[in-house]
Amino acid sequence: MFTTRPEIAGTFGAVATTHWIASQVGMAVLERGGNAFDAATAAGFTLQIVEPHLNGPGGDCPIILHSERLGTQQVICGQGPAPRAMTVAKLKGELGLEIVPGTGFLAAPIPGAFDAWALMLRDHGTWRLRDVLEYAIGYARNGAHMVARVCATVETVRPLFESAWPTSAALWLCNGGPQPGGLYANPTLADTYERVLQEAEAAGSDREEQIEAARNAWYRGFVAEAVGRFCREFEALDTSGRRHTGLLTAEDMAGWQATVEAPLAFTYRGHTVLKCGPWSQGPAMLQTLALLEGFDIGAMDPVGAGFVHTVAEAMKLAFADREAFYGDPAFTDVPMKTLLSPAYNNERRRLIGERASLEFRPGSPDGRAPRTDYAAAIRRGAELAMAAGTGEPTVSRLGASGGDTCHIDVIDRWGNMVSATPSAGWLQSSPAIPGLGFCLGSRCQMFWLDESLPNGLLPGKRPRTTLSPSMVLRDGKPWMSFGTPGGEQQDQWQPIMLMRMVDHRFNIQQAIDLPSFHSEHWISSFWPRGARPGKLVLEGRYAPAVLEDLLARGHKAELGGEWSEGRLTGARREPDGQILAGANPRGMQGYAVGR
């Protein structure tokens, strides 16, 4: 089949990310002798500069890695938890909120991205922190090429910055703001990273000591102090329509570190898929695959109505369970073993029929009764659509303009692999912190203000993130790293890509280029936590007959843009030593490089 670009093939190494500059930075590190962990870290910091509307230093970053030296896979959890002062009593009782705002300070968890990258670099990398940071510092200091979407995002929040977030205006509206195709610098952030390095190098000449000193500067030094001071002193307008000071403190940051844990796994037709735990939505992809294992996917047309219908119905069941049972396992007893068991999925599979279901149907693993409020989510979804359509003060004016995510895949010549999905801390998520050049994230919007729910708010608890990197073993050996931005869509587009490779024998680039789809049937993780029963969006390149068939089956299906579904990247290593990679052409940003 025709593809928009070739699947990259080589034996030395490959890097695939959501932005060509970050991909080339990662490849430059490999060419200079760095390993996959050095390369991914350098690319990750670079993405903060070239895709500031999709991630930032104050955001989150879950990582799945394979270490050839250790012969094992690990998850590094860079998802920070809720601050100690963030309680249901505070938000619901004292402030009168029904849901957590989607922007501003109240939704800010402890920022986890810096520590996740630093921990991986310390334990698995070979380069010094200065060496991996010099690329990002250079782009921040001298200016990075701004794609049109950065500029469009800035324009959606320009009124908010000008009227209520003056520190963001100073950072992002300077000299008129970024222009499509132009260079835009963030010297304040460059200075922040330079100061971190200076404090790190003052600790001594040992590489690991320097990384530890940098972590201390960030979480127990000048960065944490600036974050705590600004949260305490500034009242930020958020999506509630009101102004609030923050709950995050320097003490919160000082008491947290990124952690290492084992990935969850499910074997689909001889391919063991690894995901982060139920503090993420990642297990929903495993549940989807467990349901679809009972269908002859390979016999279905990969762009036909039967495939779309069957996959979408399986996803509805998996994501209903996500909403009913997933949460931080340090606080919530998640019945993960049952949710992935053959008996449970054999029973759930019977719910997939020839007609689209418009019901919200979580299961009852181990006899547990699900607790969700689907009716309220439908109402919120309808209210948001009505407000957007009638010219009300739009959510974009309050900052909720639809932040997204980035992704990085790296494989080096030694067989090390990294799959990382940095996100949050978008330029539009909260006011920029004076003197630091970045803002905080808003991941805590994913909590419910009910402590008794699996994803209910509690201090120190991780919000159930949508960030969801993936890794696959084939015959027990590391085979592929892949992932995508996309919020709710991450664990929709990823199983579609994987099944097209495993069941239909497409390569990475073919599987990415084929038209895809997503559902909005379940309760969204993002403010205002709406749902749109039965909604199914097909990429515009689907045949009209496919749309007609799906409508006849009862789906509330519609066509989107011709190149609108997915921002996937991936890299795999074959037994003959070849490393192959591909990246999404949609948005004209993602690229894979290698040799």
What pLDDT does residue 399 have?
Answer: 61
The overall pTM is greater than 0.85 = yes
- In single-letter form, the type of residue at position 145 comes to H
Report whether 16 contacts 9 (CB < 8 A). no
- In single-letter form, the type of residue at position 577 comes to G
> Which residues are 420's β-sheet partners?
63, 408
Domain residue ranges in the chain: 39-260+394-404+423-446
Which pair of tokens denotes residue 275? 């995901």
At residue 120's C-alpha, the angle toward residues 265 and 284, to 5°, is 25
DSSP reduced 3-state for 478: strand
Which pair of tokens denotes residue 63? 């990582």
Gap between the Cα atoms of 54 and 422, Å rounded: 9
Range list of H helices, 260-399: 283-292, 305-325, 336-339, 342-349, 374-389
Gap between the Cα atoms of 50 and 55, Å rounded: 9
Say which residues have a Cβ less than 8 Å from residue 446's Cβ, sequence separation at least 6: 100, 455, 463, 464, 465, 466, 525, 526
- In single-letter form, the type of residue at position 42 comes to A
What pLDDT does residue 404 have?
Answer: 81
Of the candidates 532, 587, 528, 538, the residue with the CA atom closest to the CA atom of residue 560? 538
What pLDDT does residue 170 have?
Answer: 98
Sign of CA dihedral 537, 539, 541, 546: negative
Strand-strand pairing, 477-483 and 535-538:
unpaired
What pLDDT does residue 393 have?
Answer: 38
- Cis upstream peptide for 528 (omega within 30°): yes
Per-residue pLDDT tens, the chain, 595 aa: give them: 999 999 999 999 999 999 999 999 999 999 999 999 999 999 999 999 999 999 999 999 999 999 999 999 999 999 999 999 999 999 999 999 999 999 999 999 999 999 999 999 999 999 999 999 999 999 999 999 999 999 999 999 999 999 999 999 999 999 999 999 999 999 999 999 999 999 999 999 999 999 999 999 999 999 999 999 999 999 999 999 999 999 999 999 999 999 999 999 999 999 999 999 999 999 999 999 999 999 999 999 999 999 999 999 999 999 999 999 999 999 999 999 999 999 999 999 999 999 999 999 999 999 999 999 999 999 988 876 665 543 333 444 566 655 689 999 999 999 999 999 999 999 999 999 999 999 999 999 999 999 999 999 999 999 999 999 999 999 999 999 999 999 999 999 999 999 999 999 999 999 999 999 999 999 999 999 999 999 999 999 999 999 999 999 999 999 999 999 999 999 999 999 999 999 999 999 999 999 9
Report whether 536 contacts 550 (CB < 8 A). yes
What pLDDT does residue 400 have?
Answer: 64
What pLDDT does residue 395 have?
Answer: 44
Q: How many CB atoms lie within 10 A of CB 135?
A: 21
- In single-letter form, the type of residue at position 350 comes to R
Gap between the Cα atoms of 421 and 406, Å rounded: 6
